[in-house]
Structure 1
Amino acid sequence: MRAGERWSWTPYLLSLPGIALCAVFLLVPLAMTALLSLNSFSFYGGIADVWKLDNYADILADSYFHEIFLRTFRIAALVTLFCAALGAPQAYILRRMTAPWRSLCLLIVLGPLLISVVSRTLGWALLLGSTGLLNQGLLALGLIATPIEFMYTETGVVIALIHVLVPFMVLSVWASLQRLDPQVENAAMSLGAGPTTVLRRIVFPQIVPGILSGSIIVFALAASAFATPAIIGGRRLKVAATLAYDEFLNTLNWPLGATVAILLLLANIVIIVGCNRLVERRYKQVFE
């Protein structure tokens, strides 16, 4: 606050409804889940209202849970990389299009967001099955001798999640490109810069914030995805979200399911914040 200015409660009072809404629908459920994760569970006695860290110790010491969390973040990282590689060029091409082709192509890119995630995933299950359209087409062309196993594999889950999440990357990069003046590119080319130099020195620095924000969104959604891994991965390919679901509804071990959910949230925060700071530091070193 500057010297001579009077303190005002107006901004805080205006923010109070949003803060209250966030507290009721986000912070309170998270706090209740965190407290539930500290309880113990037995199949004969049910949930015991005793605060212990046994659930966290069991997960951190068991290689079974290590494998599931490693698979979860490996899938999320691959989905994020492919979404960045596909979404950034798509957004740049869409920006250079003229009406009405831009609107039509944008509708096609954002089309998956208009359909239920379950419907989309069931469609991919039909395409990726051993008797699905993809395998049958490859067999008909003579490119493969036996069907490729996409269902119940990480490859199939990654493919389906890319289709679901790439629109978020396109939107994030698109928002960054709106601040880029097209005349700057034309000016650089008139001064002798080639297309590669223009993309590397002018366009890429402008879209890096969009790629970073899109990567955060995509990684968080991929790591916490449930419907797609449950349908494409099935029971044999568990991720953290499906593990928490099984603990809550199948084994009824709510404290362990809550522990998985809390650890997934904490790991997401640590990975996203750490990678974001690392990339931003490298970005400043290269372009400043």
Structure 2
Amino acid sequence: MSAASTTSVAPSSVAQKAISNRSLPWFMSAPAILLCSVMLLVPLLLTVLLSFNAFDADTGPKAGTFTLEHYRAVLTDPYYYEIFWRTFWISGLVTLICIVIGTPEAYILNRMRKPWRSIMLLVVLAPLMISVVVRAFGWSMLLGPEGLVNGALSAFGIGPFKMLYTETAIVIALVHVMLPFMVIPVWTSLQKIDPGVVNAALSLNASPTTALRRIVLPQIMPGMLSGSLIVFGLSASSFAIPGLLGGRRLKMMATLIYDEYLHELNWPLGAAIALLLLLANLAIMLGWNRMIELRYKKALG
């Protein structure tokens, strides 16, 4: 009797233990999921609802109403198309420059020995230790008509050039701010590469360029992909640098949303623009991610 009861109880206890093991991760991640829902999903849902509210210039947003007028205004006005194009063109250019500069920088950083590696890493991360507003003001002084850059060019008989309040100033400052977000993921991918594989290729008469192209580059592609997605997303939603270095006339999407919220007080239109920016960002980033993944699989396979 006792043996039979033992054999009958054992499967149920095992099943209960398996269920508890499956539910344990959910219980452990429940606080993080709750925090993410409260801090991210709830404001996003409220923004979606706000974007469909009607707006009256005298009374402001009308709660409880529903209209697609704000989306129609954005999607049919060439003025918004121009700002969308400027935003994504600048973000794409900043991402490309960060890839061109950040990948070799990460490779050099990976090849360094201590203590130079720590010093170089500190130099790379130094921009992140300063407020982006302070960095934007610093670039405004450097690129201004009486700034250090124009002063140096004038010493050689060149210029002065108008760099402040131009797309060039925005690109330069964004590259300075976003470069660490490209270097660190690529450097992390480089640390996972076995140096013996590269040495084996070189011992088989492969040139250093071929070893970099056929061995190193395919393996750091995930790091480049992660860095490019981060840089593009942050650049497209950047506010402080376009606002301070682009001026009032050279608008990007973040500065336009700011104006609609705080200057025009048209919150529903600002919410609609913000959601369209989010959707466009997601579409571009997912498409870029898919394309790089296919090329990465093709290179490995």
- With normalisation by structure 1, the TM-score equals 0.96
- With normalisation by structure 2, the TM-score equals 0.92
Q: 178-187 vs 50-59, which deviates more?
A: 178-187
Q: Which residue of 2 aligns with 1:34?
A: 48
Specify every segment of 5 or more residues in structure 1 that has no aligned partner in the other structure, as ranges. none
Matches for 1:196-275 after TM superposition, within 5 Å: 196-275=209-288
Structure 2 letter corresponding to 1:57: R
- RMSD of aligned C-alpha atoms? 1.2
1:115-161 Cα deviation digits (max 9, x unpaired): 0001111111111111111111011112x2x3122111111100000
Q: Equivalent pairs: percent with the same residue? A: 57
Structure 2 letter corresponding to 1:26: L
SS of 1:113's partner is: helix
Say whether residues 1:195 and 2:208 are aligned partners.
Answer: yes
Give the Å deviation of 1:225. Answer: 0.1
1:201-246 Cα deviation digits (max 9, x unpaired): 1110111100000000000000000000000001011000000000
Q: Which residue of 2 aligns with 1:165?
A: 178
Q: Which residue of 1 aligns with 2:137?
A: 122
Say whether residues 1:107 and 2:126 are aligned partners.
Answer: no
Specify every segment of 5 or more residues in structure 2 that has no aligned partner in the other structure, as ranges. 1-13
Q: Which residue of 1 aligns with 2:61?
A: 47
1:16-67 Cα deviation digits (max 9, x unpaired): 1110000000000000011101111121131112111110011000011111
Q: Which residue of 2 aligns with 1:85?
A: 100
For the pair shown, which has the larger CA radius of gyration, 1 or 2?
Answer: 2
Q: Distance in 2 between matches of 1:28 and 1:236?
A: 33
Of the candidates 13, 25, 50, which is equivalent to residue 27 of structure 2? 13
Q: Distance in 1 between matches of 2:203 and 2:112?
A: 21
Of the candidates 190, 198, 219, which is equivalent to residue 185 of structure 1? 198
Q: Which residue of 2 aligns with 1:56?
A: 71
Q: Distance in 2 between matches of 1:282 and 1:187?
A: 24
Give the Å deviation of 1:94. Answer: 0.4
Q: Distance in 1 between matches of 2:52 and 2:127?
A: 39
Structure 1 residue runs of 4 or more that deviate by more than 2 Å after TM superposition? 4-8, 282-287
Give the Å deviation of 1:187. Answer: 1.6
Give the Å deviation of 1:282. Answer: 2.5
Q: Distance in 2 between matches of 1:14 and 1:282?
A: 37
User: Whose helix fraction is larger, Structure 1's or Structure 2's?
Assistant: 2
